[in-house]
Structure 1
Amino acid sequence: MKLSNLSPEKAREMIRKGEWDRPTAGLSNGYIQANLVVLPKEMAYDFLVFCQRNPKPCPVLDVTDVNAYHPPSVAPQADLRTDLPKYLVYRNGKKTEERTDLTDVWTEDMVGFLLGCSFTFEQALLENDIPIRHIEEGLNVPMFKTNLSCQPAGKFHGPMVVSMRPMKSNDVIRSIQVTSRFPSVHGAPVHIGDPETIGINDLQSPDFGDAVPIKEDEVPVFWACGVTPQAIAMHMKPKLMLTHAPGHMFITDQKNEAFGVL
């Protein structure tokens, strides 16, 4: 069976067994993938309000109960501690660990958040014959910190992160139309064209992910990105935050089209 045709359950099982430790783009095509943020319950309300005020970079798909690691709405049989290929641990705003299992750092006061991921609308772009460079090259999508400020909530404040996809100018309008159908997974682009306008000086030096080649006849298109909470963590320095590693997403049981709008 092709990896793109794996059921979410089988894909998560393969990840849990250590048989897949790479970015999840292309796994279980047609199913929603999600960013993960895990915080102590004392910070969870502020973060939920932050997401509500910043739905483009932080569209909430599901929230666990305190010390529950099974996302009740999108994959109730899954385990958020083990079912992502790679996790990051932030302590006081610094990335201190990369790991493949959160079991021994997920404490009793933790709350897990799943946020929409651009991998969902990428499938829709491909179905509309719009090429995606990082998939063609077998790379992780390039992501950049910007000078766009998120709306603060409680202790949470800081810059938006965007993901970038180069495309021909005659594909840009169609890409806006296609991704606008998916507001729960970042929706339409937040910027098109000159990267310096949003504080990006070098498209070949992403803050997260991999650089991709950009051809002379192409325009960079930027979408709000679910890695934003990691930039927020670096900015506000919470005592502890657990996240997915960029590109290493959680695969849900929900179909992409379930989150699309007509």
Structure 2
Amino acid sequence: MIGSLVSTAQLADLSGVRIVDASWFLPEHGRDARAEYRAGHIPGALFLDLSTAKPGAVAIDPHAAYVVYDDSPLKTAARGWWLLKSSGAKSVAILDGGLAKWRAEGRSLEAGEGSTFGATKVARVVDSLRDKDDVRATTDQIVDARSPARFAGEEPEPRPGVVPGHIPGARNVHYATMYEADGTWKHGDALAAAFTAAGVDLDRPITTTCGSGVTACSLVFGLHLLGRDAALYGGSWADWGSDPTTPKESGR
């Protein structure tokens, strides 16, 4: 078993682990995750296509140890971590600082097609995944990982038919506040403060949300580092904000 976070130096010395590239981008980034993987990835890394991977249905080896990284401004390794865990992997870590730190240290990369994760035919039941009806009925704290401007409804939503705003009563903890300036994870009091400063009670149940269920995984992992479990609203604002029957709020 490995810990939840692995440093670049630790990964360079590890053997027998399966390394996973979980980079993913929005259209406005103008980047192609698979093409960037082909151009250069950590030697031996598998590519996990977050645009098609479904919760609970990634074909993993439950006895293997995985280390997930990304090279995305959205910090998508956390989504990869959540998908592998939800699919039954027992030992999954995130590479602290991701591919950017690995590359900055001059560590080796390899190019080529590599290998891509497959999918299982039948998804597992994911206990920590919530749908819209669950969120309507929940007494959990709702914590939204989107930027303050999107949370407040001050910016248009990038998806057609989705109105701006947030779920009534939600707290806003931008996913970027989970990280230090160099892209590594915050720890301890600094990490806890990102939540408590937004009025989140770390001793009460939490359901996380964002635009489409990706960046909210940074909150799930951050809470995991603090010893707390959290649920994920899979459809997130793309689901809630496109439904004319759901209540919505704006403002900070």
TM-score normalised by length of structure 2: 0.30
Query: Which is strand-richer, 1 or 2?
Result: 1
TM-score normalised by length of structure 1: 0.30
